A = this chain, B = another copy of it.
């Protein structure tokens, strides 16, 4: 297990080295937005790493919109100036693994917004999906089973109902981290789960009634315990 982590860190360090080398190269060669960077083969040769390593690094920079690859043509610097480019690459290099506190803090922020938007934009189909998740959650809890998944599905259903594709994506992205940390820190107690049934119902009803203020308020109530726990361990 330890070994695996080290391996991943090593890979990440290699990738970060390549990324910073690409940045240096762009600066040294005074490449401007739209210019083509050297081919993958040349870079792998120059940096003394495998071509797949270079490809992975480029892919990461593509994800953040720094580079753009066109098949059979080349890889190009995105349409942002060197200032922003350097700043963003530095930020990317310094990105840390998210800590539990920041995850929860962010999740609460996102949930308050998605609930509010969902109460304004939810469709009938959204309501059905939310109620399904809600019922599944209640069943599990009543049977004394763990219901972390059903809990999350309800919240993801809200995110979907928010009609905001960006928020929906962000919620999906932070979800795995939330699950992992929840299990690691044993956040879920049985009492909380039981309270959750009514709290979920309240949120659902507020969204159904198209009452954004109430929805936000009910989400706040739902996350109050989590919020305090999150700050108590920091």
Contact = CB atoms under 8 A, between A and B. Distances in A.
Contacts of A71: 4, 7
Contact of A156 (B63, B91, B98, B106): B91
Contacts of A4: 70-71
Copies of this chain, whole number: 2
A106 B164 contact: yes
Contacts of A164: 102, 105-106
B95 A156 contact: no
Interface stretch (A168-176, A197-205, A215-223): A168-176
A153 interface: yes
Given A165-B97, A166-B106, A172-B64, A84 B152 contact: yes
A38 interface: no
Interface in A169-203: 169-170, 172-177, 179-180, 183
Interface string A49-84: 000000000000001111000110000001111011
A172 to B, nearest CB: 6
Size band of the interface chain A makes with B: 35 or more
A180 B80 CA distance: 9
A170 B172 contact: no
Interface of A: 4, 7, 63-66, 70-71, 78-81, 83-85, 87-88, 91-92, 95-99, 102-103, 105-106, 109-110, 113, 117, 133, 136, 148-150, 152-153, 156, 160, 163-170, 172-177, 179-180, 183
A227 to B, nearest CB: 14
Contacts of A160: 91
Contacts of A96: 165
A50 to B, nearest CB: 15
Nearest to A83: B149
Nearest to A84: B149
The 4 A-B residue pairs with the shortest CB-CB distance in the complex, in nearest-first order: A65-B176, A84-B149, A102-B166, A106-B166
13 contacts: A64-B172, A80-B179, A84-B152, A84-B179, A88-B175, A91-B168, A98-B169, A102-B165, A102-B166, A103-B166, A106-B164, A109-B113, A166-B174
Contacts of A168: 91, 95
